Amino acid sequence: MKIDIKEMDEFLVDLLSEIGDKLLIDSSKDKSVDTKSSRIDLVTNFDKSTEKLVVEKIKEKYSEAAIVSEEGYGDVVNNMSGLVFFVDPIDGTMNFVKRRDDFASMIGVYLDGKPFLGAIIDVVKKEIYHGGPDYGVFKNDEKVISPKNQSLPEGLVDISWPMVMADRFNSQAVVKKSSGLRIYGSAGIIFEHLIFGREVLYMSYLAPWDLAAGRVLCESLGLRVATIDDSPINMLKSQVVIVGTQKVISEVLKTVKK
């Protein structure tokens, strides 16, 4: 399949820019909030309306693509052949509901199973992080350079709170070796911190739409994305993932095995 990568990158940036404007307006409105798997797993009317819009726009432009998305407007996807888009309409829904600043919207694109392009918008900052391995990574129009390969003692780590509270995967030992723990509650915002070196590790159970765009951007900048047992990443299932610098991921894989 021959795809014009620049045209697709511009499509993703334009789409997320439109979605960002919409979400900024939505964020100040009253929301209808429902729960999903638990009391703290939320979905709003705006998660749904945003996903519906994004899926429609992708289908209009890339009719051959399959779409994996969180709120049910996408397709049932069983394999990664061809073009697969991953859509997380609002990432950090709890933060969005609490009227905090740290929420995002994300689209990841894979071609025959390989990372192709990713785009994340930090809605409140109006910054879009976008690009891919054959394209480079940009913050809006500005090229992003690879973050330093920092070690665990040099950097801040971000681990989902249920994981770190229960000390799953020896995660508290990881925190103790680091410069400290931050928990932002939005995978997209955490990927933003990782690509600029403001954090050196993200460790969480992630669904495909949580991981897809950030994986593309992080790997394009020389960061490493691995599963907790170092098995191959399966983009069609939820799994415990570690994302960080090369040094930190090697260190964490040793720590969790102990």
Cβ proximity to ligand 2AM, 3 vs 124, nearer residue: 124
Work out which of 207, 233, 240, 253 binds ligand 2AM, going by CB under 6 A.
Answer: 207
* Binding residues with ligand 2AM: total (CB under 6 A): 15
Q: How far is CA 239 from CA 7, 106, 143, 213, in A?
A: 32, 18, 31, 16
Q: What angle do CA 68, 232, 129 make, to 5 degrees?
A: 50
Closest separation in Å from C-beta 113 to ligand 2AM? 21
Site membership for ligand 2AM, residue 105 (CB under 6 A): no
Site membership for ligand 2AM, residue 220 (CB under 6 A): no
From CA 92, how far away is CA 224, in angstroms rounded?
23
First to last CA, the chain: 44
Closest separation in Å from C-beta 176 to ligand 2AM? 22
21 belongs to an annotated ligand binding site: no
Work out which of 44, 150, 186, 245 binds ligand 2AM, going by CB under 6 A.
Answer: 186
- Measuring CA to CA, which residue among 70, 62, 102, 111 is closest to residue 87? 70
90 belongs to an annotated ligand binding site: yes
Q: What is the largest CA-CA distance in the chain?
A: 50
From CA 62, how far away is CA 83, in angstroms rounded?
9
Contact 152, 252 (CB under 8 A): yes
| Token output for 26 | 């939505």
Work out which of 74, 108, 185, 197 binds ligand 2AM, going by CB under 6 A.
Answer: 185
Work out which of 16, 117, 128, 187 binds ligand 2AM, going by CB under 6 A.
Answer: 187
Closest residue to bound ligand 2AM by CB: 187
Closest separation in Å from C-beta 201 to ligand 2AM? 15
9 belongs to an annotated ligand binding site: no
Q: Among residue numbers 64 through 93, which ones bind ligand 2AM (CB under 6 A)?
A: 88, 91-93
Work out which of 10, 21, 41, 112 binds ligand 2AM, going by CB under 6 A.
Answer: 41
Work out which of 31, 75, 205, 219 binds ligand 2AM, going by CB under 6 A.
Answer: 205
Q: Among residue numbers 227 through 246, which ones bind ligand 2AM (CB under 6 A)?
A: 238
Listing DSSP states for 181-242 in one string gives E---S-HHHHHHHHHTTS-SEEEEEE-HHHHHHHHHHHHHTT-EEEETT-PPP-TTS-EEEE
Contact 114, 200 (CB under 8 A): no
Contact residues: ligand 2AM, CB under 6 A: 37, 41, 88, 91-93, 185-187, 204-207, 210, 238
